[in-house]
Structure 1
Amino acid sequence: MNYRTTCPHCASVFRLGTDQLDAAQGWVQCSVCGTAFDARLSLLMEDGSPLPQPEPEPVEPPAQPETQPPAEQEATTADTRDTADEAPPVAPSPEEEDIAAADVPRGIVQRETSFDLDSIILIDPDIPAPDDPGPLPQIHTVPSYPPEPATPLRRATVAEAAPAARIEYASPMPGKARIPSSPRRISPWMWGTASLLLLVVLLAQTTYFLRDTLVSRLPQTRPAVEQACAALGCTLSLPKNLALLQIVGSDLQTEASGRLKLTLTLGNRANHVQGWPVLVLTLTDQHNRPLARRSFAPSEYLGDAQRIAAGIPARSEQPLSLPLTVHDLTPMGFNLQLTY
């Protein structure tokens, strides 16, 4: 006869026969999780129905003793006492000892051999079983002390009633285990070299984009910057420092045709060549209020591209003349400023 049992640890359902139960005294080992358990606690029929209840054996009523006179009863009782005192104790037979030892259930801790013995039956989980595993076994736990307060019962959901899913882990690939290597530390001299390279790149970018300001502040660097610009294909303007430029003299004259003529002398006090500035002329009235203002670029008051590109020579004074045409204005004064 075949039965059905359930593993209490992983809830896997297996099929086993009567000979297997008798051989291992009801103890089996789950082939899924390896748990050894007593299959008789969750034993069901092969179709999932509970085991049939054994029929009670007829009990014969005890024989009624025959009524004896009081004198005979006292004599019989005395004889029985004397016989019990004289009879030696009878030792149990080996068969009775084996039956008594078989009636005592043995747990995993009481076994003297390991689970690898033939008495532990490994059940194959690949054996096809019916779709309906039958009612799940109920495991009764020992109540704790002190008892916990009673909680209202609630209906179990489908997710709680379902058995836990079996998780299978992939076996590791054969071969040597790879030990993760510790991160390598970068030596200080490599950090120093990288920092120095970054500083050089930063200085090169600053020099390239601020080359005109650098040459104006540090004229001695102009030859090196000019060579770098020749290699990179960039242009370099002349130094521009208004503090080293000075208007030595200026005059606004009125000609016979009504036109105006501005004459001035521009001096360069620097020891190097500087770029030509922009002239800002403001015409004023007799109360020194501005009437008109006009800015003149170097191309307007010089007109010579080569002279503009050459700049103002170092430590020199350059006379300039600029004719002006004014309509509907009678200026009584002027103001002249330099800018870049």
Structure 2
Amino acid sequence: MNRITRCPSCAMVYQLPELHLNAAKGWLRCGACGHAFDSTGLVLRWDPASSGPLVSSKVPVPGTGDIPPYPSAEAVQPVDLVADPADRISLDNSLTKEDLSSPAKIRPAQSELAAFEDALSSFKPEPVASEALPSPPKDSKALSSGAWLAPSGVLALALLLAMQLAYVQRDAIAASWPDSEPMIRHVCETFGCQVSPLRDPEGMVIDSSSLVKRSEDHVLSWSVRNTTHLVLGMTALELSLMDQEGKLVLRTVALPAQAGAPQTLSPGQSWSGSLKVLVSPDVVFSDYRVLSFYP
């Protein structure tokens, strides 16, 4: 049995086989205006024996080989209604009756969507338990102490670092500021450390020296000077005797205490000393060398 429908866009009426309608799942395209529409609820049964023939359009059905392909726009023609007004079909009344007597069935996709919307409207989310936030401190004194905690910690850390640096560089500090040496020594006595004179071998230079023979011994005289801007500890003196070939025949060392030298020399200060050197008659030398060093 054929069916008839009307385009909702241009009101053109068509007759089409039920096979085409089922294959297209209700979707049709108007051959006159090209409008695609869902014919659900707009289709009526049509008995060709009771009415005049209608020109039908062919609907394309994807995936079906036994159904003729969709005709071109020129092949699709509008319905030529019966010339006699008495024989015309009241499509509006028929559609109304068809809609009232047999309401269109809801497609599966539409029914699923309606069920989803109903479930969504009835859904009530469970209340999420809010995490307990820590209450702000009520005591203003606690807030005040917390505000000063970070600066106090930074200050204490900086003070501790300064004390550690002063402990490591105590000798250099005492040499740079001689007036601070008594205080540094007092602090070191409390903590069990000691202050030693700053050492700089390159800063202590021997300006002059001489080795003179007298009766049974030799007298060594020398002058040492502090060339730096710091207070440096006194160096020891090394005397080396060599023969004509430059080979070492005798070496002796004189500590500052043995030569009567002071423990330190101020910046630019010089000190001169002398020392008797006993040399055995068997030792023959022709040259000597003096060296200032820290033992």
**Which of the pair is proportionally richer in strand?**
2
Range class of TM-score, shorter chain = 0.3 to 0.5
Q: What TM-score do the two structures reach when normalised by structure 2?
A: 0.43
Where relative contact order (Cα < 8 A, 6+ residues apart) is larger, the structure is 1
Q: What TM-score do the two structures reach when normalised by structure 1?
A: 0.38
